[in-house]
Amino acid sequence: MCREIFPMKPVALALLAACLAAGPGPAAAADAARGRVLAQKNCSPCHAVGRSDASRNPRSPPFRTLSTRYDPDALQEALAEGISVGHEGAEMPEFVFSPAQIDDLIAHIRRITPRAKRGG
């Protein structure tokens, strides 16, 4: 069922499962404003990265909805290792972020996620 909703390469799916099992990591010095800039620069060509914008690629989930599928903190390792998924014919580029950038991205995701949907 999950693969039908959010198709992923088997390696990315296994990595995501490992991240979910590992649990959240620290995000003490996170800066959501820097995370927004990173998201706009790297992710907005496909994903909606704001509170109300639409994803340019309809198969790319808006960042504000990611916590309905995943605890945002659980994405730390996937982002550090180079998350790469497919959106049925539109392969996601492989991104590798530093730990500080990951904390910033997660802080941004948390900031734009409606309170009722926040994970963690």
Fold classification of 2-117 (topology level): Cytochrome Bc1 Complex; Chain D, domain 2 (1.10.760)
Enter the pTM of the model.
Answer: 0.67
Domain locations in the chain as residue ranges: 2-117
| pLDDT tens-digit readout, 65-81 | 988 888 877 788 777 77
What is the rounded CA–CA span in Å between residue 31 and residue 84?
24
pLDDT at 110: 92
Predicted confidence (pLDDT) per residue in 42-54, tens digit: 999 989 999 999 9
